[in-house]
């Protein structure tokens, strides 16, 4: 029953999507070995397979994975499932190319199958590494890297990776000689990622970073000179130079420049808003065009330019005498309704607004009731007036009328 308890524990761990502990693994391995020596191979496989699956992606638990796979391989060979046993031995060799089985502890049949798995792995590694070397010599370093990264267990992959790192470093040197510092920096960093101990690549990274820092300060001075002088085209060019080394010594300086742009744009928004409040369309257009000319790229000015898109400010309506407004009626609906007859003689005060297009809206009614108010609102909002023009522009007007039904 003990092995069933261990199996239940392993399955429970998997179902809860949590990893088995080192103690769980050790207990299962001990029980698995006992089952193996009792020739209960199928029980041993049932016990260990869930644990093997649970640890499949755990790169930090290689020794436990190897121990489980070794016990599984022995159990499969015990059932005469030789291909399954060899596949598990192949997994072990890929996890640790130096792993070996002591001939004095295992049957010749087991040793033979393990050695076959080793030989097949070596042949596979040689094929992969030779292909990687050919790609590297052809200048296809990325393809070469893909080859060796597909077989990290191969001993030859380390040498090929270092060889590729050297090739990448030399490409960086050529770019550096051409004054293409930013692309050279990418190559030197790539070389370092492949070979962290490549001291020359590290020195070139530090050298280019220092050059970028000095260049950023020079671009900042050039930008400030042109920006202060109002030469926004040259300032934008200096900004783009800074942008090209962003993250390589120019990040802090670039943030300073962006902050200066934002302050200036905020000032433009303030001027535009003031002009909007005065309904000064000429000034609004002038301010917005100046802001557009100043912006070095869309991302810097998008928010501020959007705020200068349309003027939503409305001037207050002009108060006008009702007699004058009645003289400007273009069309109206007569008060002909049973409501008028029922409430004949009732006096109602009405405040209306007439917009720039002559349309009427009822703002307030007093002296009536719910029925009268609904009727008058509906009738009055059908009235049309000749627009009122002030200083050459149509204006909203407000008036109060006394109506007797």
Q: What is the pLDDT of residue 2?
A: 46
| Residue 340's pLDDT band (cuts 50, 70, 90) | low
Mean pLDDT highest for which of 42-46, 118-122, 375-379, 391-395? 42-46
Q: What is the pLDDT of residue 206?
A: 92
DSSP state string for 252-294: HHHHHHHHHHHHHHHHHHHHHHHHHHTT-HHHHHHHHHHHHHH
Mean of the per-residue pLDDT values of the chain = 83
Query: Residue 127 CB: number of other CB atoms within 10 A?
Result: 13
In tens, the pLDDT along 189-216 reads 999 988 899 999 999 999 998 888 888 8
Specify the higher pLDDT residue, 86 or 79.
79
- CA–CA gap between residue 329 and residue 380 (Å, rounded): 11
- CA–CA gap between residue 272 and residue 250 (Å, rounded): 33
| Residue 370's pLDDT band (cuts 50, 70, 90) | confident
- CA–CA gap between residue 214 and residue 147 (Å, rounded): 40
Percent of the chain with pLDDT over 90: 19
Segment 379-390 mean pLDDT: 88
DSSP state string for 139-165: T-HHHHHHHHHT-TT-THHHHHHHHHH
Alpha carbon of residue 205 to chain centroid: 28
| Beta bridge partners of residue 388, listed in sequence order | 395
Q: What is the pLDDT of residue 9?
A: 47
Q: Provide CB contacts within 8 A for 132, sequence distance 6+.
A: 144, 145, 147, 148, 157, 160, 164
3-state secondary structure of 366: strand
Q: Are strands 318-319 and 397-404 parallel, antiparallel or unpaired?
A: parallel
Q: What is the pLDDT of residue 149?
A: 77
Specify the higher pLDDT residue, 13 or 21.
21
DSSP state string for 16-75: TT-PPPHHHHHHHHHHHHHHHHTT-HHHHHHHHHHHHHHTTT-TT-HHHHHHHHHHHHHH
Percent of the chain with pLDDT over 70: 90
Segment 351-356 mean pLDDT: 88
Q: What is the pLDDT of residue 13?
A: 44
Is residue 169's pLDDT more than 90?
yes
- CA–CA gap between residue 66 and residue 70 (Å, rounded): 6
- CA–CA gap between residue 101 and residue 95 (Å, rounded): 15
Residues 226/234, Cβ–Cβ less than 8 Å: yes
Q: What is the pLDDT of residue 178?
A: 94
Residues 379/333, Cβ–Cβ less than 8 Å: yes
In tens, the pLDDT along 248-302 reads 545 678 888 889 999 999 999 999 988 887 777 788 889 999 999 999 888 888 8
Query: Residue 254 CB: number of other CB atoms within 10 A?
Result: 19
| Residue 234's pLDDT band (cuts 50, 70, 90) | very high
Segment 212-227 mean pLDDT: 89
Q: Strand (E) positions, 160-210?
A: none
Q: What is the pLDDT of residue 306?
A: 87
What distance, in Å, lies between the first and last C-alpha atoms of the chain? 102
3-state secondary structure of 388: strand
- CA–CA gap between residue 73 and residue 1 (Å, rounded): 23
Say which DSSP state 242 is in: H
Q: What is the pLDDT of residue 323?
A: 85
């Amino acid at each position: 029953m003990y092995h069933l308890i261990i199996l239940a524990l392993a399955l429970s761990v998997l179902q809860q999507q949590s990893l088995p502990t080192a103690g769980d693994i050790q207990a299962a391995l001990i029980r698995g070995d006992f089952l193996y020596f009792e020739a209960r191979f199928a029980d041993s496989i049932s016990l260990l397979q869930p644990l093997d699956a649970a640890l499949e992606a755990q790169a930090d638990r290689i020794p436990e994975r190897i121990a489980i796979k070794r016990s599984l391989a022995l159990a499969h060979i015990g059932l005469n499932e030789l291909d399954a046993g060899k596949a598990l031995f192949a997994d072990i060799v890929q996890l640790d190319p130096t792993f070996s089985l002591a001939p004095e502890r295992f049957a010749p049949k087991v040793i033979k199958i393990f050695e076959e798995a080793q030989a097949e792995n070596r042949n596979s590694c040689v094929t992969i590494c030779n292909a990687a070397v050919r790609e590297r010599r052809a200048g296809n370093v990325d393809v070469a890297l893909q080859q060796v990264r597909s077989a990290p267990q191969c001993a030859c992959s380390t040498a090929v990776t270092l060889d590729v790192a050297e090739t990448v470093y030399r490409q960086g040197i050529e770019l550096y000689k051409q004054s293409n510092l930013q692309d050279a920096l990418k190559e030197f960093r790539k070389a370092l990622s492949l070979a962290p101990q490549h001291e020359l690549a590290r020195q070139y990274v530090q050298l280019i970073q220092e050059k970028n820092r000095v260049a950023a300060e020079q671009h900042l001075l050039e930008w400030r000179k042109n920006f202060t002088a109002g030469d926004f085209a040259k300032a934008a060019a200096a900004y783009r130079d800074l942008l090209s080394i962003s993250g390589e010594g120019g990040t802090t300086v670039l943030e300073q420049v962006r902050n200066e742009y934002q302050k200036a744009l905020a000032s433009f928004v303030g001027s535009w808003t003031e002009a909007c409040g005065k309904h000064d369309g000429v000034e609004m257009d002038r301010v917005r065009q100046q802001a557009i000319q100043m912006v070095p790229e869309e991302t810097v000015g998008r928010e501020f330019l959007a705020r200068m898109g349309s003027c939503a400010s409305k001037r207050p309506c002009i108060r006008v005498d009702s007699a004058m407004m009645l003289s400007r009626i273009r069309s109206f609906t007569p008060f002909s309704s049973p409501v008028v007859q029922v409430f004949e003689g009732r006096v109602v005060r009405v405040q209306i607004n007439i917009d720039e297009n002559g349309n009427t809206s009822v703002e307030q009614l007093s002296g009536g009731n719910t029925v009268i108010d609904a009727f008058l609102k509906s009738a009055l909002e059908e009235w049309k007036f000749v627009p009122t023009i002030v200083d050459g522009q149509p204006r909203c007007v407000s008036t109060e009328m006394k109506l007797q039904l």
